[in-house]
Structure 1
Amino acid sequence: MQTRLVEYFLSLEREGHFARAAARCNVSQPTLSAGIATLEAQLGKRLIRRDPKYAGLTDEGVAILPWARQLIAAAEALGQAAETARGPLKGELRLGAIPAAMPVIGRLAEAMLARHAGLNVSVRALTSRQIERELAAFELDAGLTYLDFEPPAHALSVPLYVERSMLISAVDGVPIPELLDWADLARLPLCLLHQGMQNRRILDARLAERGLALRPRVTADSYLALLGLVQQGRLCSIIPDSHATLLNGLSWAATRSLPEMGEGSRVGIIVSDSTPMGPLAQAVLGVARELRLPPGFCAA
């Protein structure tokens, strides 16, 4: 069985469209369709529902999907292992990162490229749940995410730092009480991440422990959007303290520490807990163990 045929199958499942899947594989649509038909003939099972366009996977297609992903991941790792046995690590490191950890991406990528000059690094902003799913589907090599709240399953991890939260407002915007407590926080006009983001779920859980709930007036899926909202002066927000360095030089922004909320949230690198481990996963774990973050980051 040619792995290329399996790649066609996976690409079609991912894209849900024959033309887009063919473009992803850099082949013509007839070539992709013929390749999938050949795979079906080899397995003696129909894998794709056509009506007349792509209409999903058959039960047999769903059944082989995790094995197809594992086969392609193993083939890629095999090639990397052979290529790096006597030479530098090459290829693309696919890294997913939660928005809260984006300030760390530059240092991690710099450390990876310094250690492995032949690598390219692809970074995608994903939720913690997306990172876990895509690691399991072999679509990521590593993730940068929370480690303790809703801990990722079947993963090896290296803690990098402990995240705490801070309040941000415009200098001439929302008036903030001098002695801020949690009840004050719940009364402020807030813009926050939506509840699909783990940072927000952690915040909500910690407020619930105190009998409080946050009711933001605006929700978003990125900190850049939250900063844009806060800059207008009518709203304030709660963001990770790791973003403090990115705010240096912004004359409109004022930050405040929040009341003590416990031990903080550990953030770190995760890779799939599989044996044997691929060279890219081994490389990112090795760099993560030696990564030293600046003093603004609380050690894990």
Structure 2
Amino acid sequence: MIDKLEMFLAVAKEGHFGRAAATLGITQPSLSAGIKQLEAQLGVLLIFRGARYGGLTPEGQAALVWARRIVGDARQLRDEMRATRHGLTGQLRIAVVPTALTWAARLAARYGAAHPNVGLTILSRASVEILKMIEDLQVDAGISYLDNEPLGRVSAVPLYDERYSLVVPADHALAGAGVLDWAGLDGLRLCLLTPDMQNRRIINRRLADAGVTPLAMVESNSTVVLVSQVLAGGWVTILPQDIAGFLAQGKPLALVQLAPEGPGHAVGLIAPWREPHTPVLEALLTEARRMVS
């Protein structure tokens, strides 16, 4: 039944039989047959369908919760048995908010050194996407904000508190400023992350609290694009200090520290709430704790 539940999860995620079949590497007729067999085993209709996918039935919505749990448990059993026989092996998938990619690289380097037989896939995603991907078993863990928006039930390891810098051209009038109040950003031509990014929502609140209406005529979901825009001239951007320092290194740019407005927002490693975790994931959580201890 596990393979049929995997098919069901793929269809629920993709909302399309053809795309689901492609992600599983099987034909669409095989997928449709597998879903019908699962429905026959459970005795209920899981998916509305006519000429195309029509969504999950109420029974399908309930089955989706069980399918995620059962498939997750099956994968955990497989990983634990493999670890018992061969040590830690396999693939670990981590989704990361763009502003935390430098921390993800550090964690991956430490983890890879300790467990060289585990492959790592690191994806840059918005915080909302990360939670959805964890729920849908598309990734094993994420690095995201811990205290700004609801996370649901997850295991979490705090990594750092986010503080911010203004990134400006080296010849900008503000380049020599030591620390700048947020109110001092009024009137600047800003390029910022897109509104779907949690970092942008945090920055919008900081600006609003300072009485500043952001003039963001360029938006991107990539921090690299933002820094490139500053290099092109005429723009400045706001980024967390760590990623700002990394992206500005060796370039004709200057960083201006923005005065803290209360506590910084915590960023950390999150994983599905499960006791115990798979050996591969537990090792990642342990390495994250060691990195900040």
Both proteins in one fold, TM over 0.5 = yes
Task: Determine whether 1:220 maps to 2:228.
Answer: no
| Residues 177, 185 of structure 1: alpha-carbon distance in 2 compared, 3 angstrom cutoff | farther
Asked whether the equivalents of residues 70 and 138 of structure 1 are also in contact (C-alpha less than 8 Å), the reply is no
In the alignment, residue 283 of structure 2 is paired with which amino acid?
A: A
Work out whether 1:55 is the aligned partner of 2:45: no
Distance in 2 (CA, whole Å) between partners of 1:5 and 1:214 is: 50
Equivalent residues in 2 for 1:50-199, closer than 5 Å? 50-172=49-171, 174-176=172-174, 180-199=180-199
Deviations 1:57-116 (A, max 9, x none): 222212211111111111000111111124311111110100010112221111111121
Aligned-residue CA RMSD in angstroms? 2.0
> What are the equivalent positions in structure 2 for 1:25-36 lying under 5 Å apart?
25-36=24-35
- Please report how far the alpha carbon of residue 186 of structure 1 lies from its aligned counterpart in structure 2 after TM superposition: 2.2
For 1:178 and 1:13, locate their aligned partners in 2 and report how far apart those are by CA, in whole Å. 53
Instruction: Judge conservation of contact 1:141–1:280 (CA < 8 Å) in 2.
Output: no
Alignment of 1:269 with 2:285, yes or no, is no
* Partner residue in 2 for 1:249: 250
Answer yes or no: is the 8 Å Cα contact 1:168–1:256 preserved in 2: yes
Q: For the residues of structure 2 that align with 1:35 and 1:277, how far apart are their CA atoms?
A: 29
> How far apart in 1 are the matches of 2:167 and 2:122?
26
Structure 1 runs not aligned, ≥5 long: 293-298
* Corresponding letter in the other structure for 1:79: R
Q: Give, in whole Å, the separation in 2 of the partners of 1:18 and 1:152.
A: 30
Question: 3-state DSSP class of the match of 1:46?
Answer: coil
Letter of the 1:176 counterpart: L
Residue type of the alignment partner of 1:23: A
Change (3 A) 1:80 1:256: same
- For 1:12-31, what aligned pairs fall within 5 Å after superposition? 12-31=11-30
TM-score, normalised via structure 1 length: 0.89
In the TM superposition, what is the alpha-carbon distance from 1:277 to its structure 2 partner?
A: 2.2
Higher mean alpha-carbon deviation, 206-215 vs 94-103, is at 206-215
Amino acid at match of 1:93: L
Q: TM-score, normalised by structure 2?
A: 0.91
Q: Which residue of 1 aligns with 2:10?
A: 11
Shift of 1:18: 2.2
More displaced stretch, 231-240 vs 17-26: 17-26
Contact 1:132–1:152 (8 Å) recurs in 2:
yes
Identity %: 39
Report the CA distance between 1:151 and its aligned residue: 4.9
The alignment partner of 1:85 has SS state of: helix
Q: Distance in 2 between the 1:205 and 1:249 partners?
A: 31
User: How many Å separate the matches in 1 of 2:52 and 2:152?
Assistant: 36
Q: State whether residues 5 and 39 of structure 1, in contact with CA within 8 Å, keep that contact through their aligned partners in structure 2.
A: yes
1:9 & 1:113 partners in 2: Cα distance? 33
Q: Which residue of 2 aligns with 1:40?
A: 39
Matched-pair contact (CA < 8 Å) for 1:163–1:265? yes
Residues 122-131 or 149-158, more deviating: 149-158
- C-alpha distance in 2 between matches for 1:178 and 1:284: 41
Q: Distance in 1 between matches of 2:28 and 2:273?
A: 36
The one-letter amino acid paired with 2:205 is: A
Per-residue CA deviations over 1:20-49 (Å, capped at 9, x if unaligned) read 222221222221111111111111111122
Is residue 97–residue 123 contact of structure 1 (8 Å, CA) maintained in 2? yes
Greater Cα shift, 274-283 or 163-172: 274-283
Q: Contact 1:156–1:273 (CA<8 Å) still a contact in 2?
A: yes
CA shift, 1:56, in A, is: 2.0
Please tell me whether the aligned partners of residues 7 and 35 of structure 2 are also in contact (alpha carbons under 8 angstroms). yes
Secondary structure in 2 aligned to 1:140?
coil
How far is 1:184 from its partner?
A: 2.1
Partner amino acid, structure 2, of 1:16: G
Query: Which residue matches 1:296?
Result: none
Distance 1:102 1:177 in 2: 25
Q: Look up the SS of the partner of 2:255 in the other structure.
A: strand
Distance 1:33 1:290, change over 3 A: same
